[in-house]
Chains A and B, each alone.
Chain A
Amino acid sequence: MSRKREEKEYQKSFPYRFSRWLKGEEDPFIGRLEMKPQVPRESPERHFDPSDYEDIKRRSRDHAHNKRWQGYGKLYQVSSVFICTALIALLVYAVSYLPPVGETGNPANNEVPERYITKGLEETGAVNIVTGMILNYRAFDTFGESTVLFVATGCVMLILMTGKSRGKRGTAEEGTGNGMAERTSITDTGDSMSEKISAEASGKRGILAEGSRSRRTEAGIQISVGTVGIETGNRVSMGIETGNRISKEIETGEPKTEETVGTDPILQVIAKLVCPAVFLFGIYVILNGHISPGGGFSGGAIIGAGLILYTNAYGFEKTERFFTKKTYTGISVSALSFYCLAKSYSFFTGANHMENMIPNGTPGAIISSGLILPLNICVGLVVSCTIYAFYALFRKGGL
């Protein structure tokens, strides 16, 4: 008898829904959750563009141009300098009563660092006491730090990628990716873009989340992205508008196009020489975190810098062969989960169990000091991915 379940029965089951969610075919919230259609962000009645600056300057607290505020500006500056000087004076006064720097008997040098220094090597197996401290005695603190980095990347992605994937950056990438040679066919690009937008909107089952945001370019061309075009069904005109904007941007060269990245032969030769050394050095610093200065954070920063150098030399296309959003998510999430699992044993041993289950080994050897080496590797992976992710997010608005 086959153990295969009936198709109908399987479709009701959790694994089926989970696999569909994993493949991105189904959003578990749509249809199951009562959702109000998001009120489209009301477009400003009066558009704000550089030509309005003068008017605003006259009416606002622009001290140079507004006579009413001229005295206020002086007063503000003087009083803020006064407040800050008073703050500095107060703090200097407090510092003068602090114990003198560099003495052994200072209150900061109490029994806690004494314990770390005298017993640290036996208890953690790490020659570098700071690493032993942050990855064994205070490992949860470091876990929190890595999570902060991950969450910060998530927030930056949320800010920079959502609004733009349908708005400015997305179309700009589409347009500039095709290059200047295809400027004649830009109307087509805009058209396909608008189709894509409408497809997305219909995919959201009428929940028009994004987009009646209007803005003006410097040339004053009115652009409406999103719902306005879709609701009226006026795709073609919108496409032309988008196309106009793209060609405008190409002409002014305002956003950096992909073509300018990765064409400098000097940078490429240097990067070819330097990049392997940088990566090797970063790996060295991470792996020797417990026996020499360094560790996951500094080594991860070095590897991230190497990735940025590589990207600058060869362009995002080459980097995307091995580092995409998927890679970022996979590496970060698995490193953080491993860290979490590796350290959560102490919950089951009464949260007071600081000994490693893994023997500490000989102090000074690479494979020693229990869990510190794998935890260092995890931290290094998270940090290097985060640094490169920040760079890519700010440079091109997406991973």
Chain B
Amino acid sequence: MGNNLASNFAEIAAVVLFGIGFTDLFLHKNLIKKIIGLNIMDTAVYLFLAVKGYISGLKAPIIENGVQSTEAYINPIPSGLVLTGIVVSVSVSALMLALTVALYERYHTLDLDMISFYERSKDRS
């Protein structure tokens, strides 16, 4: 183990959150719950990026009183990346939910096992 386990507790929280979302993908059969798990993973990535850009004691990168030095503001780049991530995750969630609606229209169930079994039994017959 490295030495920075205690000081990186926020990154550890992000990593654990990512793992929880990943486990969710494994253990749930319901498609909506799988989408929720993916969203938890998204959130973990935002947390990780936000922590990466943080510098302790400094302010958000909005220039005040004309002070322009790296001593005064945190790193602005991860903030921009999180913005990109949020937009993409909203789009992907909407797309997945729409596909789920379409699947429900056809099979009348959200259970992935049911759907796959139905398709397989149709191929066999």
By a CB distance below 8 angstroms, the chain A residues around B102 are: 159-160, 163
Contacts A/B (CB < 8 Å), 11 sampled: A56-B118, A85-B19, A91-B15, A108-B52, A114-B70, A127-B63, A138-B80, A159-B99, A168-B105, A215-B108, A297-B87
Tell me, rounded to whole Å, the shortest Cβ–Cβ distance linking B75 to chain A: 5
Residue of A nearest to B1 (CB): A96
Within 8 A of B (CB), among A75-119: 77, 80-81, 83-85, 87-88, 91-93, 95-104, 106, 108-109, 112-114, 116-118
Q: Which of these, A59, A83, A145, contacts B84 with CB under 8 Å?
A: A145
User: A128 contacts the other chain (Cβ, under 8 Å)?
Assistant: yes
Q: Which of these, B23, B108, B121, contacts A80 with CB under 8 Å?
A: B23
What residues make up the interface of B, taking CB atoms closer than 8 Å to A? 1-5, 7-8, 10-12, 15-16, 18-19, 22-23, 26-27, 51-57, 60-63, 68-73, 75-80, 83-84, 86-88, 90-92, 94-95, 97-99, 101-102, 105-109, 113-114, 117-118, 121-122, 125
By a CB distance below 8 angstroms, the chain A residues around B121 are: 56, 59
By DSSP majority rule, is chain A's interface helix, strand, loop, or mixed?
A: helix
User: A152 contacts the other chain (Cβ, under 8 Å)?
Assistant: yes
A98 to B10 alpha-carbon distance, docked (Å) = 12
Q: Which of these, A102, A118, A156, contacts B94 with CB under 8 Å?
A: A156
> Are A88 and B94 also in contact (CB < 8 A) when A56-B114, A97-B4, A134-B83 are?
no
A118 to B70 alpha-carbon distance, docked (Å) = 7
By a CB distance below 8 angstroms, the chain A residues around B88 are: 145, 148
> Are A45 and B122 also in contact (CB < 8 A) when A96-B2, A130-B80 are?
yes
Tell me, rounded to whole Å, the shortest Cβ–Cβ distance linking A128 to chain B: 5
Q: Contact at B98–A155, with CB atoms within 8 Å?
A: yes
Q: Contact at B11–A101, with CB atoms within 8 Å?
A: yes
Tell me, rounded to whole Å, the shortest Cβ–Cβ distance linking A248 to chain B: 14
By a CB distance below 8 angstroms, the chain A residues around B63 are: 120-121, 127-129, 363
Q: Contact at B3–A44, with CB atoms within 8 Å?
A: no
By a CB distance below 8 angstroms, the chain B residues around A152 are: 90-92, 94-95
**At the interface with chain B, which of A46-54, A305-313, A326-334?**
A46-54
Q: Contact at B108–A59, with CB atoms within 8 Å?
A: no
Q: Contact at A128–B62, with CB atoms within 8 Å?
A: yes
User: A149 contacts the other chain (Cβ, under 8 Å)?
Assistant: yes
Q: A145-B83, A153-B94 given. 8 additional CB < 8 A pairs?
A: A59-B121, A81-B23, A96-B8, A102-B55, A102-B56, A109-B70, A160-B102, A164-B105
Tell me, rounded to whole Å, the shortest Cβ–Cβ distance linking B28 to chain A: 10
Closest 7 CB pairs of A and B: A102-B56, A152-B91, A88-B19, A96-B2, A97-B2, A80-B26, A129-B61
Q: Which of these, B15, B16, B76, B84, contacts A117 with CB under 8 Å?
A: B76
A147 to B88 alpha-carbon distance, docked (Å) = 10
A102 to B63 alpha-carbon distance, docked (Å) = 20
A349 to B100 alpha-carbon distance, docked (Å) = 46
By a CB distance below 8 angstroms, the chain A residues around B18 are: 88, 91
By a CB distance below 8 angstroms, the chain A residues around B105 are: 163-164, 168, 215
A117 to B71 alpha-carbon distance, docked (Å) = 10
